[in-house]
Chains A and B, each alone.
Chain A
């Protein structure tokens, strides 16, 4: 059974840092692209970052230069290092397994349960 379990969320002050983790099991982690998607309370889904099987990374402009996605295949783990956090980064952060090819048709077939990040003084 595929499982994705996020951890590392919590309360952080503006300008602070936080590292999220996503523990994967039930599939060959190294063979899949992985993404982070976030959702502010009462708002829609927002793509946050992507990492390919070769370690290539992608970010939207809203987090580029502040967030870093990484993976450790030996530990079946995905990470999101978040620096210079702002109030607008407050959200539930989901890790998601990617199917398809992110040159055209990639989508998310499994999601974790999410971890809440709150940026507030």
Chain B
């Protein structure tokens, strides 16, 4: 089955740039989607189709995807960005939804 690998944690100072990676075999051939989840809340879509943003999501959130790694980039990080972030793909070869294990973003 397809596996997505994320670092358990990423730390960044306010105003700096956070990069959260999502590794998978030839993930560049898939569409990758990213969700933000704050404690006690449902996930929220922040990036879809590798690099598109839903309405209402700040431009500070961006995504890229190539080779074996997709990346969620959060520019000018704010305290309110502290959350868990999950990448997700649909594995069409097995008709399965796949999530990465999640990355906890800590704003120092």
Contacts and interface: CB of A to CB of B under 8 A. Distances in A.
Nearest to A36: B97
A108 B43 contact: yes
A99 B48 contact: yes
Given A35-B97, A58-B96, A107 B86 contact: no
Interface residues of A, number: 24
Interface in A27-69: 35, 37, 44-47, 50, 58, 60
Q: Among the interface residues B44, B54, B90, B102, which one has the most CB atoms of the partner chain A within 10 A?
A: B90
Contacts of A11: none
Nearest to B102: A44
B31 A105 contact: yes
Range class of the B interface residue count: 20 to 34
A101 to B, nearest CB: 9
A80 to B, nearest CB: 14
Q: Among the interface residues A46, A94, A108, A112, which one has the most CB atoms of the partner chain B within 10 A?
A: A108
Contacts of B35: 45, 108
Contacts of A37: 97, 99
A1 interface: no
Nearest 5 A/B pairs, CB to CB: A47-B97, A105-B31, A107-B33, A111-B42, A44-B102
Interface of B: 30-31, 33, 35, 37, 42-45, 48-49, 54, 86, 88, 90, 92, 95-102
